[in-house]
Amino acid sequence: MSVDKNTVAKIAKLARIRVDEAQQEALSGELNQILGWVEQLSELDTTGVEPMTSVVEMTQPLREDVVNDGHYVDRVTKNAPDSAHGFYAVPKVVE
């Protein structure tokens, strides 16, 4: 797997990270190095091995269906750059 300049630009855009054109070349080199290192794993034969999703030997804990949170509009909107009438107020995003 190889990452070129265009892929870097695309990933950056999807992640909403500004990457100047000048940086893209260098970044693609770095990413390729990382991917190359990770790809060493494919030398192992993992046929029939379940993917490991966690190092903890347990399954998903479940909670009871009880309302015990919320009801604090002020706390929820406290860190927002702007809010009005209990809503978050953001630059207009309309389809």
Answer yes or no: are the C-beta atoms of 6 and 30 closer than 8 Å.
no
Instruction: Report d(CA 73, CA 85) in Å as an integer.
Output: 10
Q: In this structure, which amino acid lies at residue 20? A: D
Question: Should residue 44 be labelled a site residue for other proteins when binding is judged by CB under 8 A?
Answer: no
In the DSSP assignment, the letter for residue 42 is G
Q: Specify the stretch interacting with other proteins by CB under 8 A; choose among 1-9, 20-28, 31-39, 70-78.
A: 70-78
What 3-state class would DSSP assign to 83? strand
Q: In this chain, which stretch among 6-14, 18-26, 28-36, 40-48 interacts with other proteins, using CB under 8 A? A: 6-14
Q: Which residues bind other proteins (CB under 8 A)?
A: 10, 13-14, 16, 53-54, 56, 58-71, 73, 75-77, 79, 82, 84-95
